[in-house]
Every structure is written in C-alpha cells, then in structure tokens.
Amino acid sequence: MNVLNVISTLEKVRQVNPLVHNITNVVVTNFTANGLLALGASPVMAYAKEEVADMAKIAGALVLNIGTLNEMEVEAMLIAGKSANENKVPVIFDPVGAGATLYRTETARKIVKEVNISMIRGNAAEVANVIGENWDIKGVDAGEGNGDVLMLAKKAAQQLGTIVVITGKDDIVTDGQTTYVIHNGHPLLTKVTGTGCLLTSVIGAFAAVESNLLNAAAAALVSYGVAAEIAASKTAHDGPGSFQMAFLNALSNIQKEDISELGRVEQV
C-alpha cells in the first residue's frame, strides 16, 4: 500500500459510483449521504426489515452503525447483514458507543457474532469494548484510555477474524498480520458530529471497488484525512461550521496531486 494505490482506488470509486447501503443513526444520516455523494459514491439509507435483504444484496457494500439503535433497527441490521454475507457484499460495522451502555455493548457483540463482518471501524474504546477489554468511554466519544492501541487493533483483528480500523489522531488498520498507520486528518474533524460515521461509510465505498479490504481501508483513511487537511487549510480560522462545508467540497475535489503531496501511510 502506497500513495499510488490510494489514488487508483479513489479514482475507481469515482468511476464505479458504488451503491452503499447504510443502516445508520439519525444524527448523521444527511451528512453521510452528502459525504458519499461528494466522494463519488451512491448512498442509500434503507431500514425496513421487509426490504433490507433486497437492498443489501444489490449494494456494493453494507454499512451497519448502532449510533441510535433500537430493537427494530437491530433486527433489520441482522437481516441485512446475513443477506450481504450470502451475496458476498462486504459488511462494515461501526459500533458507536459500545461500552457506554450494556445494551450497546451487547448489541455490538451480537452483530459481530451473527454477521460475518468484513471490517469494524471505531475509536479505541469502542473496539476494546466489543472484544471485552476494559477501556473508558464517555457517550459516543473515546475516553482517555491508557492501553497500547496498536496491540488492541491486532488483538481485535485476530479475535474477530476481521479487518480492524481504529481512528484517532493517527489511524490504524490491520488484519492482525499486516498493519498500516495513517498520519492524515485534522483536529477539526473532532468538532463536527458524524465524521467518524461518515468515514465508516466512505470505507464501505472503497471496499465496494477494491477486493483487498486492507488496502481499501487504508486508501479510504488517507483520502479522508487529506480532504480534512485541505478543508482545514481553508477554514480553520473560521471554525467547525465552515470546515464541515469545505470538507464536503474537498471530498469531491481532492486530486491525485493532493494525495501524492500530503498522503502519509506507514507500514509498521
């Protein structure tokens, strides 16, 4: 994985315009749809248990996000996940707030048990809580924690048999053997709600066009982080509102030269 792979995978997303089926939370729905459109993917949100199997089957990727979960939605996620599995559609899981309440933790564990998840993306606390490690969490934001995040990511990948993405100041992606650290992004991303959730869906868009899912996730993380840096360079003096708009623009306008110049991916 290098910046050239990132560029070619981003170009493929724009060419293919993959359908990404999201079962996500009420906070981030509109931002997620707009972010995927800006990137060059095709978003759809579908939640009814009567239709999710059909929608997941025709999608390039299925994204499950438990940010504002309830029983009906969880039932739909399990139906959609199983349909995606039967139809070889990659499933990306965002365990928003796992560890904050027993219901979230138990639901996240149920989803990874009953659905064959291709990738899980969360902050360190969420991933730790899914695999039964102790890590503080405050609501949907990562707590301080004091563990080794690299070790945590590898352990989670091995335990869950899936690719694990843990984000924060630096982002980690691992299959338990090969591990990349991505040094892109900007602190303003933490001041706009849904930037983690949108990232999970963006990883879905990349997974829809690149069958090497480790490379797909790394390419998504670099592209996303570089877009944030470009947006911040134009708006940091104003604040999160302007940044959010500039970030959508940057997802749409990001060029291969930007990735060559700013992309920072390291194998560790």
Write out the residues near ligand TZP by the rule CB under 6 A.
Answer: 25, 27-28, 67-68, 96, 140, 193-197
Does residue 187 touch ligand ATP according to CB under 6 A?
A: yes
Other Cβ atoms within 10 Å of 68 Cβ, number: 15
Contact window for ligand ATP (CB under 6 A) among 11-19, 26-34, 153-161, 194-202: 194-202
- For ligand TZP, which is the closer residue by CB, 28 or 111? 28
Does residue 195 touch ligand ATP according to CB under 6 A?
A: yes
Please write down the HEC assignment for all residues of the chain.
CCHHHHHHHHHHHHHHCCEEEEECCCCCHHHHHHHHHHHCCEEEECCCCCCHHHHHHHCCEEEEECCCCCHHHHHHHHHHHHHHHHCCCCEEEECCCECCEHHHHHHHHHHHHHCCCCEEEEEHHHHHHHCCCCCCEECCEECCCCCCHHHHHHHHHHHHCCEEEEECCCEEEECCCCEEEECCCCHHHHHCCCHHHHHHHHHHHHHHHCCCHHHHHHHHHHHHHHHHHHHHHHHCCCCHHHHHHHHHHHHHHCCHHHHHHHCCEEEC
Question: Is residue 161 marked as binding?
Answer: no
Q: Which of ligand TZP, Mg ion, ligand ATP, none does residue 167 bind (CB under 5 to 8 Å by kind)?
A: ligand ATP
Q: Shortest gap between Cβ of 94 and ligand TZP (angstroms)?
A: 7
Give the pair of three-digit tokens for residue 143: 């707590």
Residues 83-142 binding Mg ion (CB under 5 A) are 96
Question: Is residue 239 marked as binding?
Answer: no
* Tokens 């480790």, located at residue: 214
Give the sign of the dihedral formed by CA 197, CA 106, CA 117, CA 154.
positive
Give the pair of three-digit tokens for residue 52: 């999710």
Contact window for ligand ATP (CB under 6 A) among 5-13, 32-40, 80-88, 186-194: 186-194
Contact present, 170 and 258 (Cβ < 8 Å): no
Q: Which of ligand ATP, ligand TZP, Mg ion, none does residue 68 bind (CB under 5 to 8 Å by kind)?
A: ligand TZP
**Binder to Mg ion among 145, 196, 204, 263 (CB under 5 A)?**
196
**Binder to ligand ATP among 12, 104, 155, 186 (CB under 6 A)?**
186
- For ligand TZP, which is the closer residue by CB, 32 or 85? 32
Q: Shortest gap between Cβ of 24 and ligand ATP (angstroms)?
A: 12
**Binder to ligand ATP among 22, 83, 107, 167 (CB under 6 A)?**
167
The interaxial angle of helices 213-235 and 240-253, nearest 10 deg, is 130
Question: Is residue 45 marked as binding?
Answer: yes
Q: Shortest gap between Cβ of 189 and Mg ion (angstroms)?
A: 6
Residues 151-190 binding Mg ion (CB under 5 A) are 190
Q: For binding to ligand ATP (CB under 6 A), which residues are involved?
A: 123, 140-142, 167-169, 171, 185-187, 189-190, 195-196, 199, 224-225
Binding residues for substrate: 45, 194
Binding-site ranges for Mg ion (CB under 5 A): 96, 190, 196
* Binding-site annotation: residue ranges for ATP: 121, 167
